[in-house]
Amino acid sequence: MDLPTIWFVAIAVLWTGYFVLEGFDFGVGTLLPVLGRNDLDRRVMINAIGPVWDGNEVWLITAVGATFAAFPAWYGSMLSGFYLPMLVILLALIVRGVAFEYRGKVDDARWRRRWDVAIVAGSATPAFLWGVLLADFVRGVPMDAEHVVRAGFTDVFNPYALLGGVLTLGLFALHGAVFLALKTDGPVRLAARRTAGRLALVAVPVAVAFLGWTQAEHGTGWTLPVALAAVVALVLGSGLVARGREGWAFTATAVTVAGLAVVVFGSMFPIVLRSTVDPAFSLTVAAAASAPYTLTVMSWIALVFLPLVIGYQAWSYWVFRKRVGPPPTTPASRTPASRGISATESG
């Protein structure tokens, strides 16, 4: 493969890693009012992702940075057409991060409820909009010969894109429920198991519909088995979590999220942004790529630093691998975790 193709694959891998890891973060935040029947349960849920959620966002920063450096024309065209939804995603992520840190700063129930609302909104909004944008990248957008996207509201939020948004929202919620069943103990774990089964009733048919539509309209011969494997893994994961096999269930939902990303990027290649105005205006991998010297320098940098980043994140997951549960305390001797301190403070 030439360097532009290698870097397209690398960026696809970065986005896949982001959706797999940040996907369960979004799911936990979205399910906060569903599984968190009281403040202690919500604290357990937040503590489950507290040590890793900000590290998971490194994948987003790296993916965006790599896209800007390796494919500046692709980056510029995306911003020209999706500036508003991307801005909404950025603001939602900021609000979510602030909410995690500020929720426990004041020992007041109303204060915590307000930040809980911010966590839910800051998790569900990106979970939905990322699916919308991924679907639009596959379907195509009204882009002219200058590679400027002039998309209106209905161009962005078309039926196919809305289906993609529903899929990522439901799939990430299921992924988050399975993660909570794996990572927590006590009432939250039991509630997460039950909720995962209910979410599967929505996620599985939506996944079949979206992946089938994608394969029919834009898929290739090799993306079909990937799409089938993603659906099978989703069904298996739903059954495994009900049987208490949370580790295998989480692996299965992670395979589904990764399979979805592979189908999306595989259906795009060799076009990074398809024009619905004229196929000749579409932006290809070769046309959008930076100069060979830039890609060569980036490749050496990635070879040095990417293993370090992956190694550090793997180490952090290993350190915080134990289950999180409610502390065995009486109301008179409640721990800081039960009073609702921030996730970073509680460790």
Instruction: Please identify which residue in the block is written with the tokens 């909104």.
Output: 121
Residue 131 lies in a domain: yes
Amino acid at 166: V
Report the pLDDT averaged over residues 209-219. 92
Establish if 178 belongs to a structural domain: yes
Residue 324 lies in a domain: no
Helix residue ranges, H only, 71-158: 72-102, 109-139, 153-156
Position 315 in a domain: no
Please indicate whether residue 162 or residue 281 has the higher confidence score (pLDDT): 162
Q: If you average pLDDT over residues 247-253, what whole number do you get?
A: 94
- Give pLDDT tens digits for 303-335: 888 888 888 888 888 887 788 877 765 444 444
Dihedral angle of Cα 104, 105, 107, 110, to the nearest 10 degrees: -80
State the CATH number of the domain containing residue 101: 1.20.1630
Please name which of 203, 189, 202 lies closest in space to residue 324, comparing C-alpha atoms: 189
Mean pLDDT of the 174-198 span: 91
Give the pLDDT of residue 329.
57
Q: Is residue 310 in some structural domain?
A: no
Name the token pair of 261: 């990303």
Q: Considering the domain boundaries, does residue 311 fall inside one?
A: no
The residue-averaged pLDDT of 102-124 equals 90
- Provide the pLDDT for residue 347: 34
Q: What is the number of domains present in the chain?
A: 1
Q: Is residue 309 part of a domain?
A: no
Q: Domain range holding 213?
A: 3-291
The half-sphere exposure of 31 on its side-chain side, counting CA atoms within 13 A, is 36
Residue 13 has pLDDT above 70, yes or no: yes
How many percent of the chain have pLDDT more than 70?
94
Residue 146 pLDDT grade (very low, low, confident, very high; cuts 50, 70, 90): confident
The reply to whether 255 falls in a domain is: yes
Which DSSP state fits 237?
H
